[in-house]
Amino acid sequence: MNLIYSRVFLKHKTLQHPECPERLRYFGQHLKEARIESGEKYLNLVYSEEYIKKIKNASENESYLDADTYTNRFSYGAACFSAGAAVKASQECGFSLGRPPGHHATASRAMGFCLFNNIAIASRKLVNEGKKVLIIDFDGHHGNGTQDIFYGTDKVLYLSAHQFPAYPGTGWVDEIGIKDGKGFTMNVPMPPYTGDDLFLSILSEYIPAIKEQFKPDIVAVSAGFDAHHSDPLLQLNLTAGAFHGIGKLLSKNFNNIFACLEGGYNLDFLHKNIFSFVNGINNAENEFIEEKTKTDAIIKNEFEERIVELRKSLKPYWKF
């Protein structure tokens, strides 16, 4: 898995915001820029012309779309290239460092720092090509937009492991899909201060089972790193080793994997966590060693109670 980077991702910016160009400052010094096409032509896979015009106009006027989600005059273009980078990643089994991120953006609403849902655009393109897609989202915030977009289809299975309660307030165990998509959304809501041990154990149980029963053609990863213990926006307790571990787990089970960057707001740790995940995918050693974290007994009990409820919700559809 190679990293896909472009300076165009740095043009989306405003003052004093956690989702800032500095998140990628390390990569501009160490990566050759990739050739990326604008993904504007792919936006209508998910978005109406009315919505696309709304984002374009907001960018031209440098407007805020909600209290958290800003634009400047370059944001629309950066977002189009971010979508294009997601498609490129899906074609090359790469990791798109595109920003603005995407997994909170629904088909009708920009929110949570996100304008267009990059992983959803790339995944919808794959579905239209006849592929079954497994989306794994380990960003510490629930990817409500991705869930919403694919909530009624059995062509995409969405698995999210995230802190709950936390923004945006969605992602409980009983949110499992509707109509043809019933059973094809799986949420693992982790209590604050969940550590490496529980994060890796539950995914080590679910991912092989999904592989055998769903049999995806390709795995799309919403790779957010705000579950790291250093992150200022959440209270999860993962280390770089957890991201390396999930990379190894995915590589062991699947051949076709691509990823898109979502969250992760500690500027000193983000690049380390990204490299840890990519090294896991590539079966390389983790260069950033931290002491593994274990979850306290009270939090562990709460976590296990939630998993019992999740299994009950999914029992009619899957064997775990």
Catalytically active residues are 104
Retrieve residue 218's tokens: 């390709």
- CA neighbor of 120 nearest in space, from 152, 98, 100, 147: 147
> What are phi and psi for residue 260, nearest 5 degrees?
-130, 135
Strands across the sheet containing 3-4: 3-4, 95-96, 257-261, 218-223, 133-137, 156-163, 185-190
Tell me the C-alpha distance between 192 and 140, whole Å.
10
- Residue whose pair of structure tokens reads 């840890």 in the numeric block: 276
Closest CA to 153 of 175, 183, 129, 126: 183
